[in-house]
Structure 1
Amino acid sequence: MSPASTEPRPLLDALRAGTPLPAFPEADVEQARRLVNDVGSASAASVEALPEALAGAVLEAAVLAGQSALPEALSASPVKPLAKAAKKALYRLRSRGVTPPEAPKAQPPAPAPEALPTLVTLVSSTGQYGVLLTRVVRGGVELLQVIASDEQGVLELTRTEQSRGDLRRILKHGLQNGFGMEVSREEGARLLAEAAALNLRTRTPFPPEMEAALRHHGVQPVHEPEPLPAPEPDDVRRALEGDQLHATPELAEWMPPDAEVRGLMEQVQALASSPLALSGAQRQEQVQQRVRDAARAWFTPEVRQRYARRLWRMAAFFDATQRALQADIARGEARRLFHGLDEPFSRFAETLFAKVVVLAAAGAQAQAAQGATAPGELPTAPTNERRSPGGLILP
C-alpha cells in the first residue's frame, strides 16, 4: 500500500506504523499520530486544524474504536468536507450498533420567585408612615403591616395571613385612594431596617414579633441610611418655589409640632396686644419676621435632615402620581435641607410656620362670624386626612 495514499484507512495505518508521510507538513503528521493513538481525547478543534486527509484518518480511528463523540462534534463543523465525512462516520457507527449518547436535557429554569407588591403610605405631619410587606407562606401570603415614625422607629407591627385575592384588594384600595405608592420589596425591607435602627438609637422598645419580621425579610437594622445627593445648581430656584408644596393635598396638612405652634401664636398675640402704634403694614412685617424666626429656630441640622428625607419620599410619590413639577421642587428642597444650605432660606420651611398664622386668622374670622370663641385653641390643619389611623391601610 502506497504511503502517499490519501484514503482514510491507509493513512491511518501509516500514521500508526510511523511510516513517513512527506506529502504533509511534518508538524501536522506528528499531531495526527498523537490524535489517532488517543482518539478519545481528540477535540473537534484539533482535528479541524489538520489537512483534510489527515483529519479523515483521525475520523477513521474513531469509527474503528467505536467512539461517536468526535464524529458527533465534527458533524456540525464549519469545514464542510469534514462535516460531511463526520456524518458518514456516524452512519457507519450506527450501522455497527453504536449510537451517540443523547445530549443531556436542559433543566427547565427554576420558576422566578412570585413578585408580591409592597406598599408605603404617605408621610404624615408627625413623620409617621406605614409599610405593607408581603411574603409567600404555606400557599397563602403573609401581610406584615408596620407603623413607623422617622423619630422613634417602628411603633406597631402586625402579621396576618391573606389570600392573594384579598391582598390585591387591600393594595388596590390603597393605591386608588392615594394612601401611598407601590415600591419594590427591597425598598420596603430597607425602610423596615432603617426604622428598626431608630428603635435601637432612641431606645424605643421593639413591638412584639419585630425580630421575627426582620429575620423573615432578610434584613438587619441599618444604622447609617444613605445620604441624600448633593445639591444641584437649580436647587436655589427650587428653594424659592418650596411654598408651592403646601398647596398639594398631601402637604397641606403638615404643621409644626404643637409646642412650636403655641410659641409662635403667643408671639403673634403679643404683637396684636402691643401698645405700640404700628400701621397695618408694620404689624404685618412684624408677624412675618416672627414666622421667619420661628422657622429658622425650629429647623436645626437634625430637623433639616428629617424633613429632607420626608420630602425626598414625597418626591417619589409626586412622580408616581404624574406631578413632575412638585417632585422636582421637593427633591431640590430636600437636597438643600439635608446638606444645610441656609441662603436663600427654605420657602417650604417658612411656609410651614406661615400656615399657622393663616389658619389662626381664618379660624378667628369664622368664630367672629358665628359669634363663638374658643380661647387658647390651636389652629388645625385642613381636614383632608385620607389615611386610616396611624397612616396605615387596614384590611
Structure 2
Amino acid sequence: MSPASTEPRPLLDALRAGTPLPAFPEADVAQARKLADDVGSASASAVEALPEPLAGAVLEAAVLAGQVALPEALSASPVKPLAKAAKKALYRLRSRGVTPPEAPKEAPPAPAPETLPTLVTVVSSAGQYGLLLTRVVRGGVELLQVVASDEQGVLELTRTEQSRGDIRRILKHGLKNGFGMEVSREEGARLLAEAVALNLRTRTPFPPDLEAALRHHGVQPQEPEPLPAPEPDDVRRALEGDQLHATPEIAEWVPPDAEVRGLMEQVQALASSPLALSGPQRKEQVRQRVLDAARAFFTPEVRQRYARRLWRMAAFFDATARALQADIARGEARRLFHGLDEPFSLFAEALFAKVLVLAAAGAQAQAEQGAPAPEAPPAAPTGERRSPGGLILP
C-alpha cells in the first residue's frame, strides 16, 4: 500500500469501493466501512477503537456528509491524534458554514417554594401552648393561630390573612420576647396532628374552621410517638430536677387548683395540731405532706403528660442556649414517661413545695398591707393573653 493510501480521503474511497486493505485487520476494515456508510449514527467510542488511519477515514466521511456531531464528540477524545484530527475536521466544516447546533439551554430551576417560620410557644402551667402555622394564599399569607391543650387537644383556632411583612414582624416579636421557638413546617404540622388526635380521643369538639385548616395544611390526626427509654445518667438528673423550677418558664407551673387546696388544708391542719412538735419535726412533717401530695398526683397518666411537657421544654431550652436545663428536662422526661419511681423526681416534689413558698410569700405581702392572708395562693391566670404583636398566648 502506498503512503498516500493511508491518507483519510484515499482510504475512505477504498473503504467505499470495497478495495481490500491488507494492512489492517479484516474486522477493523469491516467496522470502518460500516461506520463510514452511516456516519450520522457513528459513536465516538466505536471510532476510537479503530486504528488511527481508519478512524481518520471515518472522520473524513463525516466532513463530506456535513455531520458535526461525530467530530464534535471526538474533539475531546483522550486519543490525542484523533482529537487533533477531529478539531481539524470541525474547522473544515465551519469553513463551509456548517456549525455545531447550539446546546439546548437548560430551563432555569423552579424557584423554591417560599417558606415562612412556624412558631410554637412554651407550655403553660395548665399544659396549653400556642402554634402558628403559615400558608401562602393569593399573594398574601394565611396565619393559622392555634391554642391547644395536652389534655383536650385544639381549643381555639383563628385564621387571618396578613402581609408577609406583618407575618415576619409577629413571629420575630414572639421569638425575641421568649414566647416560643421556631420549628420546621413539618414539626408544626406534626404538633397539630397530635393535638387533633387528642380532640378525637377525648371527644373535645373541633373549633370552627379546624377541618378546613387540616385540609389546607395536609394534616391527618396522628398519635404521638413514645419518648425514648431512660439513660443511665438520668438518675443523676432526677436529683437535679428541682432546678427546672428556677427557670422563668417552669417557675409559673403549679399543680391544679384541687391539689393546691388539698395540700394547703393538710399543712394548715398540721399547724393547728395539738401535738408538740419541734421546729425540725414540724418541717419534716410538712415535707412529708408535700411528698405524699406529689406521689398521689403523679399517676401513670399524669407522669406521661408532664414527661411530654418537659420534653417539649427541653427543645425550647436548647433553642435558647440553656444546655444544662435541656439535659435535666430530658432526663426527667424519660424517667417520668417510663414510670421510674426511685429516687422520686425532685421536679415533681418541687412542683408542690413551691405552693407553700408562694403561699408564704402571699401571706407576708398581705400582712405588710394589713389585709387578711389568703388561704391558698392565687391560681395562675387562664384567660386569653396576647403579645403586643398580636400573638395569642395560652
TM-score normalised by length of structure 1: 0.91
Shift of residue 242, structure 1, vs aligned partner: 0.7
Deviation at 1:17, TM superposition (A): 4.1
Deviation track 1:251-290 (CA, whole Å, cap 9, x = no partner) reads 1000111111122222222222222222221221122112
CA offsets per residue over residues 280-307 of structure 1, 9 Å max, x none?
A: 2122112211211221222122222211
Question: Aligned in 2, Cα 1:17/1:314: closer, same or farther, shift over 3 Å?
Answer: same
Distance 1:387 1:238, change over 3 A: farther
User: What CA distance in whole angstroms lies between the structure 2 residues aligned with 1:389 and 1:220?
Assistant: 32
Q: State how many pairs are aligned.
A: 394
Give the distance between the partners of 1:2 and 1:226, measured in 2 at CA. 84
Query: Residues 250 and 31 from structure 1, CA distance in 2 versus in 1: closer, same or farther, beyond 3 angstroms?
Result: same
- Distance in 2 of aligned mates of 1:306 and 1:312: 10
Q: Give the superposition deviation at 1:385.
A: 12
> Quick one: distance in 2 between partners of 1:255 and 1:214?
33
- Tell me whether 1:75 sits opposite 2:75 in the alignment: yes
* Distance in 1, Cα, partners of 2:384 & 2:206: 28
Contact 1:253 1:383 in 2 (8 A): no
1:389 shift after superposition: 11
**Distance across 1 between alignment mates of 2:65 and 2:52:** 20
Tell me if the contact between 1:4 and 1:23 (Cα under 8 Å) persists in the aligned partners. Answer: no
* TM score, norm. by length of structure 2: 0.91
Report the CA distance shift for 1:320/1:166 in structure 2 as closer, same or farther (over 3 A). same
- What's the counterpart of residue 61 of structure 1? 61
> Which segment is superposed worse, 208-217 or 360-369?
360-369
Answer whether contact 2:48 2:79 (CA < 8 A) is retained.
Answer: yes
Structure-2 change in CA distance of 1:206 and 1:227 (3 Å): same
Instruction: Give the aligned partner of residue 158 of structure 2.
Output: 158
Q: CA deviation at 1:111?
A: 0.9
Q: What is the distance in 1 between the residues matched to 2:365 and 2:275?
A: 27
Range with greater deviation from structure 2 (283-292 or 122-131): 283-292
Change in Cα spacing, 1:181 to 1:136, as seen in structure 2 (3 Å) is: same
- 8 Å CA contact 2:363–2:374 kept in 1: the answer is no
Which residue number in structure 2 is paired with residue 335 of structure 1? 334
How far apart are the structure 1 equivalents of 2:389 and 2:192?
Answer: 16
Structure 1 residue 366: Cα displacement? 3.0
Change over 3 Å in CA distance of 1:34–1:344 after alignment to 2: farther
SS at match of 2:308: helix
Whether the aligned pair in 2 keeps the contact of 1:156 and 1:207 (CA below 8 Å) is: yes
Give the conservation status (yes or no) of the 8 Å contact 1:356–1:379.
no
Aligned CA distance change for structure 1 residues 354 and 381 (closer, same or farther; 3 Å)? farther
- Where do 5+ consecutive residues of structure 1 fail to align? none
RMSD after superposition: 2.8
When residues 384 and 137 of structure 1 are mapped into structure 2, their CA distance, relative to the original with a 3 A threshold, is closer
Secondary structure in 1 matching 2:252:
coil
Greater mean deviation of Cα atoms: 238-247 or 315-324: 315-324
Which moves more between the two structures, 325-334 or 85-94?
85-94
Q: 64-73 or 122-131: which moved more?
A: 64-73
Distance 1:343 1:33, change over 3 A: farther
Q: 1:64 Cα shift?
A: 2.5
State whether residues 122 and 179 of structure 2, in contact with CA within 8 Å, keep that contact through their aligned partners in structure 1: yes
1:2 deviates by 5.2
Distance 1:252 1:21 in 2: 97
Q: Distance in 2 between matches of 1:342 and 1:392?
A: 39
Poorly superposed stretches of 4+, deviation over 6 Å: 382-387
Deviation at residue 179 of structure 1 after TM alignment: 0.9
Residue number in structure 2 paired with 1:37: 37
For structure 2, the 5+ residue unaligned runs are: none
